[in-house]
Amino acid sequence: MKVLLVNVSPHKQGNTFTALNEIAKQLQLNGVDAEIMWVGTKPVRSCIACNQCRVKGLGRCVFDDDICNLVSEKMASSDAFIIGSPVYYGQPSGAALSLMQRLFYSAGGLFQNKPAASVAVCRRGGASAAFQTMNIAFQMMNMPVVSSQYWNIAYGREAGEAALDVEGMQTMRTLANNMAFLLKKIHADGQPDYPEREKWNPMSFIR
């Protein structure tokens, strides 16, 4: 079993990494493999609603000039997904939102049913709103949202300060323990035991 953790902070080893790394270490103590993938500082495209990923049946975004499709490729061999973002004006980073929207639309089949969690890191305020914003997307993808003892929030300004947030780090370890527990239940028989889904029956409000 493997969990892919995506660090959307522009700082490779800042406080978002500190929180995700605490999760990764605890997952490994539970016998679950963990990989932290850094998005980097290059631009991440927003979805332009061209729909080519679906029209052409690509299973990935038609634009291949940023990190999006690399994340999709790694999800093909991952069993769960965690995304960590700094908080900007009470919201996740623009890169986090753009990445999640394109991933789930172009390669949603790689994410369906797999447990997920988000982590928000901030200096002072806005983390709960950013945390909730990221979780909304998981609920549209049939992804079980893994909880902890508190919202998955860590506090810190200077690089590494989040490690001093004792409760925040404990929250990350509890999240990892809960994620490992759920994954072991899902994979108890060797193969993932996911529920059967009804065929999607969409309906627009304007006809």
Asked whether the predicted pLDDT for residue 207 surpasses 80, the reply is: no
Q: How confident is the model at residue 191 (pLDDT cuts 50, 70, 90)?
A: confident
In this prediction, residue 190 carries a pLDDT of: 87
Indicate the CATH number for domain 2-186: 3.40.50.360
Taking only the tens place, the pLDDT of each residue in 76-124 is: 999 999 999 999 999 999 999 999 999 999 999 999 999 999 999 999 9
Distance, in Å, from the CA atom of 159 to the CA atom of 156, rounded to the nearest integer, reads 8
Asked whether the predicted pLDDT for residue 206 surpasses 90, the reply is: no
In this prediction, residue 111 carries a pLDDT of: 98
Taking only the tens place, the pLDDT of each residue in 12-57 is: 999 999 999 999 999 999 999 999 999 999 999 999 999 999 999 9
Which pTM value belongs to this model?
0.96
Beta bridge partners of 4: 35, 81
Secondary structure class of 201 (helix, strand, coil): coil
In this prediction, residue 33 carries a pLDDT of: 98
Q: Compute CA distances 201 → 97, 114, 198, whole Å.
A: 26, 22, 8
**Tokens 């929250």 identify what position?**
171
The token pair at 169 is: 């780090």
Q: How confident is the model at residue 61 (pLDDT cuts 50, 70, 90)?
A: very high
In this prediction, residue 78 carries a pLDDT of: 98
Per-domain boundaries in the chain? 2-186
Report yes or no: 161 and 122 within 8 Å, Cβ to Cβ: no
In this prediction, residue 110 carries a pLDDT of: 97
Nearest to 132 by CA among 160, 115, 104, 151: 151
Taking only the tens place, the pLDDT of each residue in 145-183 is: 999 999 999 999 999 999 999 999 999 999 999 999 999
Concatenated DSSP letters of 102-166: HHHHHSGGGTTT--EEEEEEESSS-HHHHHHHHHHHHHTTTPPBP--SS-SEEE-SSTTGGGG-H
Q: How confident is the model at residue 64 (pLDDT cuts 50, 70, 90)?
A: very high
Distance, in Å, from the CA atom of 134 to the CA atom of 123, rounded to the nearest integer, reads 18
In this prediction, residue 84 carries a pLDDT of: 98
In this prediction, residue 155 carries a pLDDT of: 98
Report yes or no: 90 and 130 within 8 Å, Cβ to Cβ: yes
Nearest to 118 by CA among 141, 158, 109: 141
